[in-house]
Amino acid sequence: MRERVSLYIYRNGRILFFHRIKATHEHHVSIGGGVEPGETILEAALREAKEETNYDIVLGPRLWVREFGETHREYAYLVTEFSGKLALGGPELARQAPDNQHIFQWIPLEEIPELDLYPGPLTLNQIEQIRQALS
């Protein structure tokens, strides 16, 4: 089963996402990615945050674990403590092109259910889980 860590990086009522613009469609993606062989969820979270955002993070509470069929499992975490200058890096930077863009967007919590989100969608219950973890 392919495992993915999703990081919901929170600041001032907003969550950081990639707005993905491809040749054939647009969607949003949570920060994070696949867990590599021999890597723990924590190691994957720290690596993905650094590669994709240049942020050094403190992993906050786990929000949920969900499965997509029999092939994918997502571990979602809230991140409220982070430092560094936001900058695209890693494989996302290497693949950046006019027909394959990764654009950072801080999206208000109340607008997240409207996103075409991968992995997703996020339900109102999951948005509420984020709110509860923030309190």
Q: Could you tell me the CATH number of the domain that includes residue 99?
A: 3.90.79.10
Rounded alpha-carbon distances, angstroms, from residue 61 to 26, 27, 35, 42, 92? 30, 26, 18, 12, 26
Position 27 scores a pLDDT of 95
pLDDT value at 79 more than 90: yes
Domain range enclosing 126: 2-134
Per-residue pLDDT of 106-135, as tens digits, reads 999 999 999 999 888 898 899 999 999 999
- % helix, strand, coil for the chain, step of 5: 25, 45, 30
Q: Which residue has the tokens 């990615």?
A: 33
Mean pLDDT computed over 30-56? 97
Mean pLDDT computed over 71-86? 97
CA 37 to chain centre: 20
pLDDT value at 11 more than 90: yes
Rounded alpha-carbon distances, angstroms, from residue 73 to 5, 10, 42, 90, 116? 9, 22, 15, 22, 19
Q: How many domains does the chain have?
A: 1
Per-residue pLDDT of 22-41, as tens digits, reads 989 999 999 999 999 999 99
